């Protein structure tokens, strides 16, 4: 069966520091991968998605970037964090049919 991992689970970072969040999927090949952010009191917003290694599409202009160095690895990064980057970051995967997305446990980021 497929599983999706995210780490770290929780992160507290100062403003202006860099960020790297990692997501990995097991038990499937060539998944579509997605990064969402859930800000406090708001719904989920798609940040990036990837249909293959090195292929990244950005949904909203922001302080963040994403990379996919391996088939089942998706990384969310920032060079300098802003207070507004605080939130709950969720990674998701879907199969080739892209019909259904399955979510990881999430990373809670607090920028102080």
- Residues near other proteins (CB under 8 A) are 6, 32, 34, 36, 42-46, 49, 51, 57, 59, 90, 92, 94, 98-106, 108
The residue count for the chain: 112
Torsion 39-24-50-62 (CA) sign: positive
Least gap, CB of 102 to other proteins (angstroms): 7
Least gap, CB of 47 to other proteins (angstroms): 11
Would you give the DSSP letter of residue 31? -
| Closer residue to other proteins, CB minimum distance, 10 or 20 | 10
| Closer residue to other proteins, CB minimum distance, 34 or 74 | 34
| Residues 44, 18: Cα–Cα separation, whole Å | 23
Would you give the DSSP letter of residue 85? G
Least gap, CB of 66 to other proteins (angstroms): 14
Least gap, CB of 51 to other proteins (angstroms): 8
């Amino acid at each position: 069966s497929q599983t999706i991992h995210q780490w770290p689970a929780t992160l507290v970072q100062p403003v202006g520091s860099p960020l790297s969040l990692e997501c990995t999927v097991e038990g499937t090949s060539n998944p579509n991968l997605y990064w969402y952010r859930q800000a406090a009191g708001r719904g989920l917003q798609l940040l990036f998605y990837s249909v293959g290694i090195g292929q990244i599409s950005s949904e909203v202009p922001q302080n963040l970037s994403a990379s996919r160095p391996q088939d089942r690895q998706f990384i969310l990064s920032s060079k300098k964090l802003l207070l507004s980057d605080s939130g709950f970051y969720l990674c998701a995967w879907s199969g080739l049919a892209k019909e259904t997305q399955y979510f990881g446990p999430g990373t809670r980021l607090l920028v102080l």
